[in-house]
Amino acid sequence: MNTFLIILNVVVMLALLGVLFWMQKKHISFTKRVFAGLGIGVVYGVILQLIYTSDSDIITKSVDWFNLAGSGYVRLLQMVVIPLIMVSIISAIMNLKGKQNLGKMSLSIIAILLITTAIAASVSIVTSLSFNLTSIEIEGGDRELAQGQKMEERLVDVKDQTIPQQVLEFIPSNPFADMTGERRTSTLAVVIFSAFIGVAVLGLDRKKPQQAETFRGMVNAVYAVVMRIVTLVLRLTPYGILALITKVTATTNPDEILKLIKFVIASYVALIVMFIIHLIIISLFGFNPITYVKKVLPTLIFAFTSRSSAAAIPLNVETQTKRLGVSDGIANLSASFGATIGQNGCAGIYPAMLAVMIAPTVGIDPMSWDFIITLILVVVISSFGVAGVGGGATFASLIVLSTMNLPVALAGLLISVEPLIDMGRTALNVNDSMTAGLVSSKILKENDQDTFNDQSRDLDSAIQV
């Protein structure tokens, strides 16, 4: 009987995917199909949970099949992330012209990422204090205690590292190993390696222009092929979102959320406030925030459902260049940097909120200025090199809590709502990288305002769906 029900659930999922395919054939816009996938997935996930309950064996096995579309899509995006970062950054740097300056571009993007991270930490502190959050109120079961123990074990890897030692981790000693994502700082290491190649080509222009031109032609050809792969993968976005959101809604336990509802609400209040601050920053630089939201929404929905800033890089770059009018170089740098530096959600809001909650357990007043200022500085510094994949927020919180001499095990009490909050955190991370790219393009006068204002530019035209 169980096998029949699992098959039935999978058949229904295939039928829903078929609806999205029909919408594509009818040339319904990409944005509408993304929203359709999101809405249908939520409804189907809720129905499955009401029928079977979130922890039933039928749900588990059905979701395992759904993952072929959901996790499969995320894996395809992850597959193209490193090649995209490499060829995009090499291409962007070696094609720099006139007054374009790599140092100014990088400095502007990183500065915005770090400034907004400091603001995010401040927002998180205020929100935590306003909601009077404290880990003393949270009860932990076996699962939570096991997670806390696991976090303490992971702490061994980082607690003895000095700041200079952590900075050294950014520098690639084996770029080919970093291309496999071996370390938490692998993405940033690949960015640095690619930047060196691009700068080397610029230097080669003066000494051996023929070889430089030959290499430039090779990279441009590879870039065209990689972007074509990105296009093919991005066409699957509505299908991936449908499967991913179905999994989330079908497997989330409402009872566990209700037990921690205060923390969940406080987290999303902080995330929403920070998103509004992003829009204010954008408007201060002369961009219409409503137009911006309309153009980036499909990318944010993907980030929300996939919970991976790194996997969102291809869609992030396409959105910036094709819809926001950001130059290729700035878009690629901001998307790459934003996936590993200054993540407002995972490295800003989350660690700061945990620190404020845990501080009273060791007799520290979270309202003291010494604690608040130190916490903000620690959050900003530790935001370098946070992996843009699931678990990045946990690692960031480990570094922050250990640096502040706070017990890390208590953070394990929040494991039951971690996926739900991580969705919002990831969307904020990606939005921050796009904000950094857009604002930097304005500062450096490399923004196409006509492209930004063009309301007809749907992602359909960008990915040729």
CATH number, domain with residue 177: 1.10.3860.10
In which domain, by residue range, is 357 found?
2-463
| Helix, strand, or coil (residue 248) | helix
- Give the pLDDT score at 142: 47
Domains identified in the chain, total number:
1
Q: What is the C-alpha separation between 149 and 136, in angstroms, rounded? A: 17
Q: Could you give the percent of the chain with pLDDT greater than 70?
A: 86
The helix (run of H) or strand (run of E) holding residue 428 is helix 418-443
Q: What is the C-alpha separation between 151 and 130, in angstroms, rounded? A: 27
| Helix, strand, or coil (residue 465) | coil
Q: What angle do CA 413, 415, 418 make, to 5 degrees?
A: 130
Q: What is the C-alpha separation between 423 and 245, in angstroms, rounded? A: 10
**Residue 92: both structure tokens together:** 């962007």
- Give the pLDDT score at 465: 44
One digit per residue, the tens of pLDDT, for the chain of length 465 reads 688 888 999 999 999 999 999 998 988 888 889 889 989 999 999 999 888 887 788 998 999 999 999 889 888 888 888 888 888 888 878 877 655 577 888 899 999 999 999 999 999 999 999 988 776 555 554 454 555 455 555 555 555 666 677 667 778 888 888 888 777 677 778 888 888 888 888 888 888 888 888 998 898 899 889 888 888 888 888 999 899 889 888 888 777 677 778 888 999 999 999 999 999 999 999 999 999 999 999 899 888 888 888 788 888 988 998 899 998 888 888 988 888 888 898 888 988 998 898 888 888 888 999 999 999 998 988 887 665 555 567 777 777 887 888 877 666 666 667 778 888 999 999 999 999 999 999 998 888 888 898 876 655 555 554
**Residue 309: both structure tokens together:** 């800033």
- Give the pLDDT score at 400: 83
pTM higher than 0.85 = no
Q: What is the C-alpha separation between 444 and 99, in angstroms, rounded? A: 9
**Residue 170: both structure tokens together:** 């950014």
